[in-house]
Amino acid sequence: MKRTVITCIALVSILLTACSSVKTKEEPANTMATGQTSQNKDNEKMTQVLLKTTFGDIVIALYNDTPQHKANFEKLVNEKFYDGVLFHRIIKGFMIQGGDPDSKTAKAGQRLGSGDVGYTIPAEFVPAHIHKRGAVAAARMGDNVNPQKASSGCQFYIVDGTVYDNDKLNMIAMRTGKTFTPEQVKAYTTDGGAPFLDGDYTVFGEVVKGMTVVDKIAAQQKDAADRPLEDIKIISATILNN
């Protein structure tokens, strides 16, 4: 069975590539650096979802301009689909992944990541929605079996992220053909993220409260398959507004 995962591009190959295609601009660091709340002025207009976990609460806001992903996530939350699932894959400085229905009854050490709901969602790439720290995005199967980059119907991840400097962003830009706006450069060089995933996985929301919980989850001990040794459960998922 194929696993629905996020592919982490080898940083070694990125760092060996020279480039100069990033638009740079000196700007003051934004207040997201504490990791506590979003600076998106429209977040009060977006659906917010409370993920109550065994490590604390995380509140995410769902973007309105990724409507299929938003509607699907809301549907699953209302159906209590996420109640009891685990964050089954964690990588500090990268992301935490959850939403596999098989994780609800998984035994200790069981490999996870193959569970799904029997359908995918078409990619909804919005250039403004990047893999900044706190971004919420959909997992998916790899390009070799999924060239349209369709999203998993249920598995998602939250970016923990690494801070990049301009040189490393330039290297990523040259290697991948991506370009970054001054605002995106600011986000990646102050708060961090996973810029090499931009345009390959659909970002459909962001954390507006609880990044310290994400950090704590990402830092837990894990096995060789990146599954936490201690189960980290989503106790409940609840829509806070509509």
Residues 21-30, mean pLDDT to the nearest whole number = 30
CA of residue 13 relative to chain centroid, distance: 22
Q: What is the mean pLDDT of residues 31-56?
A: 68
Interacting residues of 130 by C-beta distance below 8 A, sequence separation 6+:
184, 187, 188, 193, 195, 198, 203
Q: Which domains does the chain have, with CATH numbers?
A: 44-104+115-239 (2.40.100.10)
Q: Does position 5 have pLDDT exceeding 80, yes or no?
A: no
pLDDT digits (tens, 9 = 90+) for 189-231: 999 999 999 999 999 999 999 999 999 999 999 999 999 999 9
- For residue 45, name the pLDDT band (cuts at 50, 70, 90): confident
The span from the CA of 158 to the CA of 139, in Å, is 10
The pLDDT, as a whole number, for residue 11 is 36
23: pLDDT confidence band, cut at 50, 70 and 90?
very low
pLDDT computed for residue 186 by the predictor: 97
Alpha-carbon distance 242 to 44, whole Å? 10
Instruction: Check pLDDT > 70 for residue 12.
Output: no
Cα distances (Å, whole numbers) of residue 216 to 30, 57, 206: 22, 11, 17
Of 129, 137, 127, 133, nearest to 193 by C-alpha is 133
Asked if 165 and 229 touch (Cβ cutoff 8 Å), the reply is: no
Type of residue at 131:
H
Per-residue pLDDT at 21: 36
Statement: residue 242 has pLDDT above 90? no
How confident is the model over 45-74, as a mean pLDDT?
97
In angstroms, the CA 83 to CA 99 distance is 9
List beta partners, residue 162: 193
Evaluate whether 47 touches 70 at the Cβ level (below 8 Å): yes
Q: Residues 116-166: pLDDT tens digits? A: 999 999 999 999 999 999 999 999 999 999 999 999 999 999 999 999 999
pLDDT digits (tens, 9 = 90+) for 155-195: 999 999 999 999 999 999 999 999 999 999 999 999 999 99
State the pairing for strand pair 203-209/56-62.
antiparallel
Q: Are strands 234-239 and 95-98 parallel, antiparallel or unpaired?
A: unpaired
Q: What is the mean pLDDT of residues 95-109?
A: 97
The pLDDT value recorded for residue 33 is 31
According to DSSP H, which parts of 34-191 are helical? 67-78, 166-176, 182-190
What pLDDT score was predicted for residue 14? Answer: 29
CA torsion sign, 115 to 152 to 173 to 24? negative
Report how far apart, in Å, the C-alpha atoms of 208 and of each of 2, 107, 128, 229, 230 are. 32, 32, 17, 27, 26
Query: What is the model's pLDDT at position 3?
Result: 60
- The stretches of the chain forming alpha helices (DSSP H) are 11-15, 67-78, 166-176, 182-190, 211-218
pTM: 0.85
